[in-house]
Amino acid sequence: MSPTPLSELGEFGLIQRIKSNAPPYLVDTLIGIGDDAAVLNLGNKDLILTTDMLIEGVHFDIRYAPLHTVGYKAVSVNVSDCCAMNVFPSHILVSMAVSSKYSLEAIDAIYDGIFKGCKRYKIDLIGGDTNTAIKGLTLSITCLGYANKGQVVLRSGAQVNDIICVSGNLGAAYAGLLLLEREKKIFLENSNIQPDLSTYPYIIERQLKPEARVDLIQFFNEKNIMPTAMMDISDGLANALIELCSASDKGCMLFEDHLPIHAETKQFLEEVYIAPFIAALNGGEDYELLFTLNPSDFDKVKTDNRITPIGYITPSNQNKKIRLSNSKEVDLEMKGYNAFGK
Ligand code: ADP
Ligand code: MG
């Protein structure tokens, strides 16, 4: 028998396989594999834990990403998974594997970004690990946060008729990536042509230096709003919504016309002949929050311009659908980022 390529399972399938072989032995493991973070019972509190890696050549390209942004982004993507549980982050551990092409100054620049992230999100760096790498740089961050009992929001709590909401806008980070890749290609073909990035500052910032939505966790806290289900959007809205609905055992109806897309994202994508809603659905790295609200809680957010209602939850016997601008209804598909390309 020949070995099975990982692309046969895909990233999602591989994680499912690992999960099925990892029964929790301990009673304090409240939530293990499968949500944005794990949840442990501390008695009168819960502890949440999450980890995410950034790998050079896979997640970032130092030919256009300033090193401080790589450090900041590594912090933001972890904090984002904490926010996705409705919890403020408190501490991080940073592990790095670094090859000899990196100087002390380069590592200082990366840590400048990490420390900026710590200051911005009010978290403490409390440890990590440092190793040599054969090639490139890998940054792996673990983030933890404390929650009051009943505060944690899982992916699995969505109820029929809940309003599906999203924070900020979608597709901007993907548009930024396309722009940076295009300018890199032009520069590599002719180094006399300097990249012109000044026309599209917003989408570049969204790609290089994403912000985790701690502001919304604050808002939910202050207004006593409890999303019924939540996750962050790291691999596209369609992937996230399919995962949230599957975890909740529900269907959904999403509306193309309601998807929030920034004017700059639209302008750039139209320039490169990509339909903006495709980027909003499948483009990765938005790090916005996708959440569902009971209609009574929705009244508390409907005037907040950071939050857009984009659809509603349907019973489990209905598919996960999107109604397009032309009124056709089609099934949502998982076309966003997948580490093993399936
Ligand atoms: P996110 O995009 O929110 O970071 P992932 O898709 O990376 O989440 O992971 C989904 C779930 O699978 C999480 O609970 C994560 O901790 C878990 N997971 C991912 N990779 C592994 C692994 N190699 N071993 C065990 N659990 C994993
Ligand atoms: Mg997540």
What separation in Å is there between the alpha carbon of 142 and the centre of ligand 1? Answer: 12
Residue 26 has pLDDT above 70, yes or no: yes
CB 276 within 8 A of CB 215: no
What pLDDT shows up at residue 208? 96
What pLDDT shows up at residue 148? 97
CB 143 within 8 A of CB 78: yes
Query: What does the alpha-carbon distance between residue 52 and residue 33 come to, in Å, rounded to a whole number?
Result: 13
Query: What does the alpha-carbon distance between residue 79 and residue 209 come to, in Å, rounded to a whole number?
Result: 13
What separation in Å is there between the alpha carbon of 37 and the centre of ligand 2? Answer: 7
Q: Which of the four pLDDT bands, split at 50, 70 and 90, describes residue 123?
A: very high
Residue 342 has pLDDT above 70, yes or no: no
Query: What does the alpha-carbon distance between residue 324 and residue 332 come to, in Å, rounded to a whole number?
Result: 11
Residue 79 has pLDDT above 90, yes or no: yes
What pLDDT shows up at residue 341? 72
Average pLDDT over residues 2-13: 92
Q: Which of the four pLDDT bands, split at 50, 70 and 90, describes residue 334?
A: confident
Say what the pTM is: 0.96
What separation in Å is there between the alpha carbon of 98 and the centre of ligand 2? Answer: 25
Query: What does the alpha-carbon distance between residue 319 and residue 316 come to, in Å, rounded to a whole number?
Result: 7
**Counting atoms of ligand 1 from 1, which one is nearest the CA of 234?**
2
Best residue among 6, 30, 33, 140 to mutate for probing ligand 1's pocket (most ligand atoms within 8 Å of CB) is 33
Average pLDDT over residues 166-177: 98
Average pLDDT over residues 87-108: 97
- Tokens 């420390």 belong to 115
- Tokens 């590592």 belong to 107
Total residue length of the chain: 342
Q: What average pLDDT does the structure give for the chain? A: 95
pLDDT tens, residue by residue, 175-222: 999 999 998 888 888 877 777 778 899 999 999 999 999 999 999 999
Q: Determine which residue's CA is closest to atom 26 belonging to ligand 1.
A: 33
**Which burial class, exposed, middle or buried, applies to 109 when counting CB atoms under 10 A from its CB (0-12, 13-18, 19+)?**
middle
Query: What does the alpha-carbon distance between residue 16 and residue 252 come to, in Å, rounded to a whole number?
Result: 23
Query: What does the alpha-carbon distance between residue 100 and residue 108 come to, in Å, rounded to a whole number?
Result: 15
- SS3 string, the chain, reads CCCCCHHHCHHHHHHHHHHHCCCCCCCCEEECECECCEEEECCCEEEEEEEEEEEECCCECCCCCCHHHHHHHHHHHHHHHHHCCCCCCCEEEEEEEECCCCCHHHHHHHHHHHHHHHHHHCCEEEEEEEEECCCCEEEEEEEEEEEECCCCCCCCCCCCCCEEEEECCCCHHHHHHHHHHHHHHHHHHCCCCCCCCCCCHHHHHHHHCCCCCHHHHHHHHHCCCCCCEEEEECCCHHHHHHHHHHHHCCEEEEEHHHCCCCHHHHHHHHHCCCCHHHHHHHCCCCCEEEEEECHHHHHHHCCCCCEEEEEEEECCCCCEEEECCCCCEEECCCCCCCCCCC
What separation in Å is there between the alpha carbon of 80 and the centre of ligand 2? Answer: 7
**Counting atoms of ligand 1 from 1, which one is nearest the CA of 235?**
2
Residue 23 has pLDDT above 90, yes or no: no
Query: What does the alpha-carbon distance between residue 299 and residue 179 come to, in Å, rounded to a whole number?
Result: 38
Average pLDDT over residues 233-252: 97
Query: What does the alpha-carbon distance between residue 264 and residue 175 come to, in Å, rounded to a whole number?
Result: 9
Query: What does the alpha-carbon distance between residue 131 and residue 208 come to, in Å, rounded to a whole number?
Result: 25
Average pLDDT over residues 23-30: 93
Average pLDDT over residues 79-83: 98
Average pLDDT over residues 40-48: 98
Residues with CB under 6 A from ligand 1: 15, 18, 33-36, 52, 81, 234
Q: Determine which residue's CA is closest to atom 7 belonging to ligand 1.
A: 52
Q: Which of the four pLDDT bands, split at 50, 70 and 90, describes residue 223?
A: very high
